[in-house]
Chains A and B, each alone.
Chain A
Amino acid sequence: GKNEYDLLVVGGGSGGLACAKEAAQFGRKVAVLDYVEPSPRGTTWGLGGTCVNVGCIPKKLMHQAALLGSALKDAQHYGWNISQPVHHTWSVMAQGVQNYVKSLNWGHRVQLQDKKVKYFNIKGSFSDPHTVRGLTKAGKETIVTADNIVIATGGRPKYPTHIAGALEYGITSDDLFWLKESPGKTLPSFILYVSLECAGFLTGIGLDTTVMMRSIPLRGFDQASHISKKKQICFTTQQQMASLVTEHMESYGTKFLKRCFPTKVEKLRSNRLQVTWKNADLNTEETDSFDTVMWAVGRVPDTKTLNLETVGVKTNSETGKIIVDATEATSVPHIYAVGDITEGRPELTPTAIAAGKLLAQRLFGQSSELMDYDNVPTTVFTPLEYGCVGLSEEAAVQCHGSDNIEVYHAYYKPLEFTVAERDAAQCYMKMVCLREREQRILGLHFIGPNAGEVIQGFALGIKCGATYPQLMKTVGIHPTCAEEVTKLRITKRSGLDATVTGC
């Protein structure tokens, strides 16, 4: 028989909602399924996906809370009579953040309603290529059929289940942002940027925070990692940038346990957690107690309960992510996927949104425009932020050879740090260009305040094929940090001191 909907989107996150709302614009009959399986700790949330509920939004707000802590210290230097130290109350912040997130959940529901998109709060799984079966929390079954189905179920944090006590006693980012009470002395154990960002703001609000890392910082930072078939370009963070970021965090107060990996987590009678770990360098076993242990060891695609095998949607055997082509199509006709769940794509909200919209436009709007995953800018919101677009230095060298690239760099000091007597040792930027005539810019990396704001416009420039001479012709805005990008002159090759001096 005829399918009930033109489009069914499974997953109400950044990609899913964008796709659904765009399709509705074309007058199509659209339905969205969204369901949040509670975390092992029992945390759950409303419509909107990771970004809104347990990702970008609460993360940036808590990062802001930490930045304001620094601002309070700076303020004294600028003449504000505020007695130090100022204390932070987690529950006030958490409530502010959680209330805002809830308003966004509400906003999304209203938007879907306004656009006449049907919303089901059910957990869906495939019965056949055009049918999804869902169960409500109460156990009631709903069947939805559609001509086209888009899978946008995203990912969830991984637990290192091989570590005793990890699942029972640890939390993840899924829980952190919804805690009603302070996490206290925290140990985020990480590989990813998530851990650094969380450790950063936890330190900033005054909590005793230690980061445990098995190897080098931000290794396998795949937030913006993708392999383009066309160019085999792989974007991974700069080792140099990662070091600067963590160096800053160390001077900021975050403790790091490098080359250590936990072996077990136990609960003490006081309700605190005892963590035992191996120190690979010293070959010793150490232990300490914490109030909270947070795992940030990666995210897994949420495909387990989808029943993908039944309909034949192929996934990557290693990552579990859904394999898609340049049109976001899976191995099954009329079934597509967007967002964090897709293999080889950056795990970023804006790319999911763009991909979702373009997909809807191609399906229903007679467009043929494909998503361009090249030169996607991104920012890590650590205490000293790191924004970047394009290739890392390593990737550029790999692609073009070190003789064919030029790296311009500079250590600068934000004006606002001067009176505040803040250390700017890690404020740094570098631009990777091709050496040949045109000197096209391959990548730009910036560490400093408001890194995201700085990088965004330059990302546009790179999209336009910006060259080094064009950047040199651009006059700076004074006094800002961003202007230093237009003043980059010293190359790494020259070996000269790259510290910016004066006006």
Chain B
Amino acid sequence: SVQAQKEEDNPEKTMDVNGLTPVPDSYDYDLIVIGGGSGGLAAAKEAAKYEKKVMVLDFVTPTPQGSSWGLGGTCVNVGCIPKKLMHQAALLGQALQDSRKFGWQFTEEVKHNWMTMTESVQNYIGSLNWGYRVALRDTKVTYENAYGEFVGPHTIKATNKKGIEKLYTAERFIIATGERPRYLGIPGDKEYCISSDDLFSLPYCPGKTLVVGASYVALECAGFLAGLGLDVTVMVRSILLRGFDQDMANRIGEYMEEHGVNFIREFVPIKVEQVEEGTPGILKVTAKSTTGDQIIEGEYNTVLLAIGRDPCTRKIGLDKVGVNINEKTGKIPVNDEEQTNVPHIYAVGDILQGKLELTPVAIQAGKLLVRRLYAGATTKCDYVNVPTTVFTPLEYGACGYSEETAVEKFGEENIEVYHSHFWPLEWTVPSRDNNKCYAKIICNIQDNERVIGFHVLGPNAGEVTQGFAAAIKCGLTKEQLDSTIGIHPVCAEV
């Protein structure tokens, strides 16, 4: 009877069963967005502005450890937001130390309570999940907490938590399913290790932690865990922050090492075993050297895997509708209008091939796409000179070329790198490092010394970098930089 119900609801399916090619004269929706994250929600809300009938499908497959979360995607639930809040908690720990030198008095050693922090963070995230649901409702976007997959060129099957399936049709689709953390594929990884998907809602303090990976996720997590007073080790296969300016990456690593994070370089874990159960328990990690035969072992309360993320594109029926994906990476290639090889199917966000995995990029792309589809706009998403910030203990803000890429593209003799160390005024009185904060700009000599790369390492790097990104978008040259007066005393004036 469920089957009969379905067919009744969907004339297309009925016609298919009857051997007729379905040519529906009206779809259920103008637009179905698969994935309720940064890109998906931005696109959906924008489409609703143009009075389109929109549906958003969002579903979170629980992690191997059982973690799950609400509407909003990675950024809100297990990315930018909780990450920055925990980073802030760690920075406050440092502020506590500094404050003594500024006259604040407290004799006791201050300890951190993981549960208090995590509860506050999760409460805030809950309010965001709620806010999104309200926003969708207010803009009359239909939302279903269901797993969407293509079953026909214009048909999606949505399966909810209870396994109930529904079919929906739409004229156009936007795939915005994002990514999930990768596992190592070694014994014990899924059983005993956690990922960033679990960390931010972990109901117990992770204790002595081994972070596997050298991505910004790995370094940011290692950074704030150490800042909260935990014993942290980072196991790195080769280089830090692949794809980022390596000079800056090394400085970040150095700073972390000098401030209590242990690094094990050129090793990869080959198995994880449980020594003792508990929350946390004790895990034994065996690792092998990448340069020889050496094997090492270590015991940790928690093992956090941060070795990369994989797009959620393999199990959403893309083969049924002929959408090409990169078989190796799972990413979806699109043209400069975010269109896949199937004209009425688009994609935005982390799943795109060759684009940056950043929330603001996904949001921008989603919004502009929808405006082009429904509001006659022509503006395309500008992926050039997108600024970014890594929220490691010493923050790193960047926009434009890394030094290596600039040299590669323009030739060493055609670029000029201006650089400087600086000592934030706020670090003087508490005697913090005076030679760690650093800034550099890379200029193209042949193009009027145009600034093509900006890098800063220091407090509030994100706040500092944002304005420079705007300036770079305006074609900033070294001369213009020189003629701009600094605000004194701030870090950005360097």
Contacts and interface: CB of A to CB of B under 8 A. Distances in A.
Interface of A: 51, 56-57, 60-61, 64-65, 68-69, 71-72, 74-75, 77-83, 86-94, 96-97, 100, 205, 348-351, 354, 372, 375-379, 387, 415-416, 418-419, 450, 452-461, 463-467, 470-471, 473-483, 485-486, 501-503
Contact of A83 (B72, B106, B463, B481): B106
Interface string B433-473: 00000000000000000000000000010111111111101
A410 to B, nearest CB: 14
Given A82-B106, A503-B75, A457 B359 contact: no
B76 interface: yes
B135 interface: yes
Given A82-B110, A453-B492, A475-B386, A74 B92 contact: yes
Given A80-B110, A96-B103, A419-B121, A450 B460 contact: yes
Contacts of A74: 92
Nearest to B38: A503
B425 A459 contact: no
Contacts of A89: 103-105
A481 to B, nearest CB: 6
Nearest to B427: A64
Contacts of B76: 503
B480 A350 contact: no
Most A CB contacts (10 A, CB to CB) among B84, B104, B470, B484 go to B470
Contact of B489 (A57, A83, A375): A57
Given A458-B467, A464-B474, A478-B80, A78 B103 contact: no
Contacts of B108: 83
A475 B364 contact: yes
A93 B102 CA distance: 4
Contacts of B463: 450, 453-454, 480-482
Given A89-B103, A460-B480, A479-B81, 15 more contacts: A68-B95, A74-B92, A78-B88, A79-B117, A81-B110, A81-B111, A91-B103, A96-B430, A100-B428, A354-B485, A419-B117, A458-B471, A464-B474, A464-B476, A503-B128
A198 to B, nearest CB: 16
B103 A88 contact: yes
Most B CB contacts (10 A, CB to CB) among A377, A454, A477 go to A477
A351 B483 CA distance: 10
Which 4 residue pairs across A and B have the least CB separation, nearest first? A457-B467, A93-B103, A79-B117, A482-B466
Contacts, number: 298
6 contacts: A61-B102, A87-B105, A377-B485, A461-B467, A466-B474, A475-B360
- The secondary-structure label for the interface of chain B is helix
B466 A480 contact: yes
Contacts of B115: 79
Contacts of A94: 103
Interface size on B, as a range, is: 35 or more
A467 B470 CA distance: 10
Contact of A479 (B80, B89, B95, B104): B80
B257 interface: no
- The secondary-structure label for the interface of chain A is helix
Interface string B32-71: 0000001001000000000000000000000000000000
A334 to B, nearest CB: 26
Given A454-B463, A454-B467, A478 B75 contact: yes
A79 B462 contact: no
A482 B399 CA distance: 14
Given A74-B92, A80-B92, A68 B99 contact: yes
B425 A482 contact: no
A443 to B, nearest CB: 14
Contacts of B111: 80-81
A452 B462 CA distance: 12
A454 to B, nearest CB: 5
B464 A456 contact: yes
A467 B473 CA distance: 10
B104 A470 contact: no
Contacts of B174: none
A501 B118 CA distance: 23
Contacts of A474: 387, 466, 469-470, 473
Interface string B417-434: 000000001101110000
A79 B358 contact: no
B467 A503 contact: no
A345 to B, nearest CB: 12
B265 interface: no
B90 to A, nearest CB: 9
B257 to A, nearest CB: 24
B301 to A, nearest CB: 18
Contact of B462 (A97, A377, A477): A477
B112 interface: yes
A499 to B, nearest CB: 12
B397 interface: yes
Contacts of B118: 79
Contacts of A473: 382, 473
Most A CB contacts (10 A, CB to CB) among B106, B428, B463, B489 go to B463
Contact of A477 (B72, B363, B469): B469
Nearest to B41: A503
Contacts of B103: 65, 88-94, 96, 205
Interface string B86-100: 001100110110111
Contacts of B426: 60-61, 64
Interface in B289-330: none
Most A CB contacts (10 A, CB to CB) among B359, B465, B473, B491 go to B473
A87 B100 CA distance: 10
Contacts of A465: 474
Nearest to A469: B379
B379 to A, nearest CB: 8
Contacts of A481: 463
Contact of B464 (A96, A378, A457, A486): A457
A467 B135 CA distance: 31
Contacts of A92: 100-103, 105
B276 interface: no
A61 B93 CA distance: 19
B131 interface: yes
A467 to B, nearest CB: 8
A111 B494 CA distance: 19
Nearest to B95: A71
Contacts of B29: none
A351 B485 contact: yes
B382 A475 contact: yes
A30 B259 CA distance: 45
A11 to B, nearest CB: 18
Contact of A455 (B81, B84, B92, B487): B487
Given A78-B88, A464-B475, A457 B96 contact: no
B180 to A, nearest CB: 19
Given A464-B475, A475-B364, A486-B466, A379 B487 contact: yes
Contacts of A60: 425-426, 489
